Amino acid sequence: MAVTDQAAASPVRGASAAPLRRPMRLFRNLSAKIATLPMILTATVIFVGCTGWTVVHSFTSSRLLPRLDFVGLDQYDRLWSTPKWYVAIQNLAVFGVLSLIFSLVIGFVLAALLDRKVRGEDVFRTIFLYPFALSFVVTGLVWQWLLNPELGIQGVVRDLGWTSFTFDPLYNRDLVIYGLLIAALWQGTGLVMCIMLAGLRSVDDEIWKAARVDGIPTWKTYTHVIIPMMRPVFVTALVLIASGIVKVYDLVVAMTQGGPGGASEVPAKYVMDAMFGAQNLGQGFAASTMMLLSVVIILIPWAYLEFGGRRRG
């Protein structure tokens, strides 16, 4: 951290005339330091401090109030022997893998379709992206209504004469996570499409021309040339979706409240219930530390790929 670098201590631009040594190093460039104080406090106190605080307290027996009496890994033992936590982790895994695959595929296909010099591209893009402006609460409530068994989609199809038609994911323990998935994909694929579209637009036209001259079919150009070229875009989208998935909370609360019978629990909701519902702070801290761990597991390979190769570049 303590790099003895004179240049780093002076304003980057225009201040080369400033004397190299001044008595009080701390007060140099003072306005900038004061102005960035909120940022510095956020980075240190909130992001580092509060995270560290939670991790430390996850090793304590805190219940109603945080207390510093350490009990080792007891909270984690209890966490991993709680069925509700298993359900939550399982749901997150299923939901996570499926929403990654589907949003990448759907997002890319929609972007590729829009990239075919479509008339009214703006209209289509506006339609595909508008759900992203809506909150998870609104999304969850709309889909809760659409998936209502008596009056929603199932009811409509049954009224049409297909009386045995069943589509009530929100009332089926095994299917509820797919109900959430439908709503989440409706809300989020527009964003992925936009990222992909930006990536496709950055592909040089010459590549398309060359592929056409060589007589390569369009779909093959996509799978063999364009997609490999767009690897960084895919990775960005992946990280973005993945870090969003871990946070899934409002959608579940609005759509199913964790039901039916706790079948749609997710880790974020487990944490909230433990901390603010059951007054079981230690469990909440342990569970949220596990969430942090999963993000770290996602991020480290990405950061390594992204920044490890070209340090100081």
Partner 1 sequence: MDGPRGPRPRRILSRGNIMLYGTLIVVAIYYLLPLWVMVMTSLKGMPEIRMGNIFAPPVEITFEPWVKAWAEACTGLNCDGLSRGFWNSVRILVPSVALSIAVASVSGYALSMWRFRGSETFFAILLIGAFIPYQVMLYPIVILLREIGLYGSLWGLVIVHTIFGMPINTLLFRNWFAAIPEELFKAARVDGAGFWGIFLRVLVPMSLPIFTVSAIIQVTGIWNDFLFGVVYTTPANYPMTVQLNNIVNSVQGVKEYNVNMAATLLTGLVPLIVYFASGKLFVRGIAAGAVKG
Q: How many CB atoms within 10 Å of residue 84?
A: 15
CA distance 2 to 6: 11
Closer to partner 1 at the Cβ: 177 or 289? 289
Closer to partner 1 at the Cβ: 54 or 177? 54
The dihedral formed by the CA atoms of 277, 283, 287 and 288, expressed in degrees to the nearest 10: 70
Q: Using an 8 Å Cβ cutoff, are 45 and 280 in contact?
A: no
Question: In the numeric block, which tokens belong to residue 8?
Answer: 């780093």
Whole-number minimum distance, CB 29 to partner 1, in Å? 5
Q: What is the CA angle 50-51-56, rounded to 5?
A: 95
Of the candidates 308, 114, 111, the residue with the CA atom closest to the CA atom of residue 227: 111
Whole-number minimum distance, CB 162 to partner 1, in Å? 14
Q: Which residues contact 285 (CB under 8 A, 6 or more apart)?
A: 54, 55, 57, 58, 60, 62, 75, 275
Closer to partner 1 at the Cβ: 54 or 264? 54
Closer to partner 1 at the Cβ: 131 or 177? 131
Closer to partner 1 at the Cβ: 62 or 177? 62
Whole-number minimum distance, CB 164 to partner 1, in Å? 19
Closer to partner 1 at the Cβ: 177 or 194? 194
Whole-number minimum distance, CB 236 to partner 1, in Å? 6
Closer to partner 1 at the Cβ: 226 or 281? 281
Q: Which residues contact 243 (CB under 8 A, 6 or more apart)?
A: 295, 298, 299
CA distance 217 to 31: 60
Whole-number minimum distance, CB 8 to partner 1, in Å? 5
Whole-number minimum distance, CB 219 to partner 1, in Å? 12
Whole-number minimum distance, CB 180 to partner 1, in Å? 15
Q: Which residues contact 75 (CB under 8 A, 6 or more apart)?
A: 58, 59, 60, 61, 282, 283, 285, 286
CA 244 to chain centre: 1
CA distance 186 to 205: 31
